[in-house]
Structure 1
């Protein structure tokens, strides 16, 4: 039986040591290192590469991480009961650079939360139940635990629910998509602008069998890159630079966000 949110809120997170490989080097990371003196959003999930985790849970937190940080969050942490090699490769494949990935390989943290569950019927062994929480200085301030029912419920631990809890008036940035071509200097320019603005984007590369005909069908153009924000075509590198340029007379820091 899963614990209730009320039984966990106001309690300290488990004190454990995670065996991780940030930068592909072994390092012990303690609970205090992650949480002490910080405001941290945590989302925990059953496993790397699994459908809901890869298609929705991790990508949306990665997308909203800059907005969460703008609203007082110091770090966004993903905890999964996988080994560090799997976790690192999953982060690379998802391009989830805005997330601190923590492998709970032995399930110690998940067990300490009371949220380690038996998934042997799926061949998974023991895994974390799906949940998210806001942790302030090592204390669980708010936790959203998925309902205890069959399957893989994903109803309350999503990034948008967490953002609304932290700031109901926060406005998430519009999704950004770039169609790019390997080795294209104009694509590199556009990516540099988005990176400088802290904007997460989905890169649809020619490597993914996106040819010029597809690009033209989608954008009406035949030149790379083509950037879309919130479904609206912005254009190539020069158009992206112009879109994020400061308004006349405004300092550079006042350049408009992706909206």
Structure 2
């Protein structure tokens, strides 16, 4: 039986030494290094590369990382009972540079949280139950634990729920998708404009087998780039710059 959220709130996180890999070498990462003197959002999930974890849980925390930081969060940490090699490859594949991936390979942290569960029926062995928490200076302030039932429920540990808890008035940014072409100077200008305003975007490049016919089918246009914000076509570079200047003016030069 899993512990209740209320029974964990107000308690310190478990003291664990995590076996991480950096620069082709092993390094022990302590609980204190992750949490001491910081405000940290944690989300823990059953496994890297699994469907809900890869398609929804992790990507949304990655999308909202900058908003969470704007609202007082120092770091966003993803735990999974996987080894360091798997976690490093998953991070790279998900383009999740704003998330700290921590391998709980032996399940010590999950066990200390009371969240280690038996997934041998799926061939997973022992894994973490899905949950999220807000930790301040090593003490759990708020827990969101998925309901204990069969399968892999995903209802309360999502990034939007955490953001609403931290700041109910915070506004999540609209998702931005850019269809681009390698070597295109207009694409470079568009990407630079988004980057200087701190706006995350997903790039779909021509070298990913997206040709002009696909671009026209999606956007109705044949020139690169084409940018969508919040599911709506903004257009090419000049249209994007005008949109950004109206909605999010560039910072003044020093």
Which TM bucket (shorter chain)?
Answer: over 0.9
Partner of 1:71: 71
Q: Is the 8 A contact 2:196 2:250 kept in 1?
A: no
Moved more, 92-101 or 128-137: 92-101
Q: When the two structures are superposed, what TM-score results if normalisation uses the length of structure 1? A: 0.91
State the Cα deviation string for residues 20-62 of structure 1 (Å, max 9, x = none).
Answer: 1245543221111110111000000000000000010000000
Q: Do the aligned partners of residues 161 and 24 (structure 1) sit closer, same or farther apart at CA in structure 2, a change above 3 Å counting? A: farther
Q: Is the 8 A contact 1:62 1:200 kept in 2?
A: no
Give 1:17 deviation, angstroms: 1.1
The runs of 5 or more residues in structure 1 that have no matched partner are 255-259
Give 1:200 deviation, angstroms: 1.9
Partner of 2:222: 222
Tell me the SS of whatever aligns to 2:28.
strand
Give 1:19 deviation, angstroms: 1.2
RMSD: 1.9
Partner of 1:180: 180
Mapped partners of 1:251, 1:150: distance in 2? 49
Partner of 1:257: none
Q: Do the aligned partners of residues 218 and 130 (structure 1) sit closer, same or farther apart at CA in structure 2, a change above 3 Å counting? A: same
Tell me the SS of whatever aligns to 1:204.
strand
Q: Is the 8 A contact 2:197 2:250 kept in 1?
A: no
Q: Is the 8 A contact 1:116 1:128 kept in 2?
A: yes
Partner of 2:251: 252
The runs of 5 or more residues in structure 2 that have no matched partner are none
Residues 5-24 of structure 1 aligned to structure 2 (within 5 Å): 5-22=5-22
Q: Do the aligned partners of residues 224 and 23 (structure 1) sit closer, same or farther apart at CA in structure 2, a change above 3 Å counting? A: farther
State the Cα deviation string for residues 65-115 of structure 1 (Å, max 9, x = none).
Answer: 111111111111111111111111111111111111111111111111010
Tell me the SS of whatever aligns to 1:65.
helix
Mapped partners of 2:95, 2:156: distance in 1? 24
Q: Do the aligned partners of residues 158 and 118 (structure 1) sit closer, same or farther apart at CA in structure 2, a change above 3 Å counting? A: same
Mapped partners of 1:196, 1:21: distance in 2? 31
Q: When the two structures are superposed, what TM-score results if normalisation uses the length of structure 2? A: 0.93
Mapped partners of 1:182, 1:115: distance in 2? 45
Partner of 2:148: 148
Tell me the SS of whatever aligns to 2:233.
strand
Residues 30-41 of structure 1 aligned to structure 2 (within 5 Å): 30-41=30-41
Moved more, 230-239 or 79-88: 230-239
Mapped partners of 1:251, 1:120: distance in 2? 52
Q: Is the 8 A contact 1:17 1:30 kept in 2?
A: yes
Partner of 1:128: 128
Mapped partners of 1:10, 1:58: distance in 2? 26
Moved more, 228-237 or 88-97: 228-237
1:42 and 2:48 are equivalent in the alignment: no
